[in-house]
Amino acid sequence: MTDRLHVSLAMRPASLADHLFDDTLRRRMQTVANVRPEVLEDFENPASREALAATDVLVAGWGAPPLPEDERAAPRLRAVLSASGNAGGMLGPLARTRGLRLTNARTANSRPVAEFAVAAILLAGKRALPAARLYGRLRGAVDRETHLATAGNHGARIGIVGASTTGRLTIELLRPFDLHVVVHDPYLDEAGARSLGVELASLDELVRTCSVVSVQAPELPETRGMIGAAQLSAMPDGATLINTARGSLIDTHALVAELRTGRIDAVLDVTDPEPLPPDHPLWDLPNVLLTPHVAGSLGNELLRLGERVVEELEQLAQGLPALDPES
């Protein structure tokens, strides 16, 4: 390629770019392209419109403004490289109708989510939540053989709901541990399950037989509310439900009702709605660990997303296929 690509960054707030791209990543971008130093937060003012008109590649982060529907506003644009989950969805209809090269960092973001899930699964196997409650109540020695007789990760059945990118990575990260992993996914067949080294099961069988259930399916019309009252009531006493996917996959009303019985525990990084109203009962239930959607990339993990974007830019500059293309 003889002409260097002209790259603009678009995201809100503009300071997000400093968390995605450190000096090393910025130098790599500058090696293959001319990168505009200022970050665009909108396409409304004259300066940002001028920048967009001269842009070949748009690097988008959270809060990126929608592209103008008039393709004359970005006549040179040929690619949108997203540091988040969906380039086309973030940037409006022009991204699709123009036939732009669209990529996202969903694969890179799956790593911390899977790591969070694995940590939660192993802690759940050790019955960490009920053990902490018991210890706090006794404020003294705990008879572990009596009160935690069912705890432990030796041969435990772990259910993964959804063989998504994150679900598959979770399965991979669980391999070194002495666990029996069971997966439910309507698009996974027996041969696929064997290749992953897992047991394939229906959703009802999975929730009935697994001591830990980790929800990692995508949010689709058919997956909303897939974990309802029937599935929750079928979970064994002392089981733990983990959700790092989307809150809508679990019927919140049914979940609250089941948790109030004290039979099961829950680790919820996502909820429906999100965030929960201040008076929502999930805040106060002792058998619930609520975290504020931290399983995905945050802090220094954002650099992994930035690195993926830089890799996509390098692929484009060398005339090579995209690593994570959007269909």
Which tens digits make up the pLDDT trace of 119-173?
A: 999 999 999 999 999 999 999 999 999 999 999 999 999 999 999 999 999 999 9
Q: In this model, does residue 2 exceed pLDDT 60?
A: no
**Residue ranges of domains in the chain:** 5-104+300-317, 110-290
* Global confidence as pTM: 0.93
* pLDDT of the residue at 90: 65
Q: Which fold has domain 5-104+300-317?
A: Rossmann fold (3.40.50)
Q: In this model, does residue 1 exceed pLDDT 50?
A: no
Q: Which fold has domain 110-290?
A: Rossmann fold (3.40.50)
Which tens digits make up the pLDDT trace of 30-61?
A: 999 999 999 999 999 999 999 999 999 999 99
179 vs 210, 242, 260, 266, 319, CA distance in Å? 11, 16, 29, 20, 44
Complete DSSP assignment for 172-208: HHHTTSSEEEEEE-TT--HHHHHHHT-EE--HHHHHH
State the Cα–Cα distance between residues 194 and 116, nearest whole angstrom: 25
Which structure tokens are listed for 301?
């993990």
Q: How many CB atoms lie within 10 A of CB 147?
A: 15
Which tens digits make up the pLDDT trace of 260-290?
A: 999 999 999 999 999 999 999 999 999 999 9
**From the CA atom positions of the chain, what is the Rg in Å?**
23
State the Cα–Cα distance between residues 89 and 313, nearest whole angstrom: 20
5-104+300-317 and 110-290 share one fold: yes
Q: In this model, does residue 201 exceed pLDDT 60?
A: yes
Residues acting as catalytic residues: 246, 274, 293
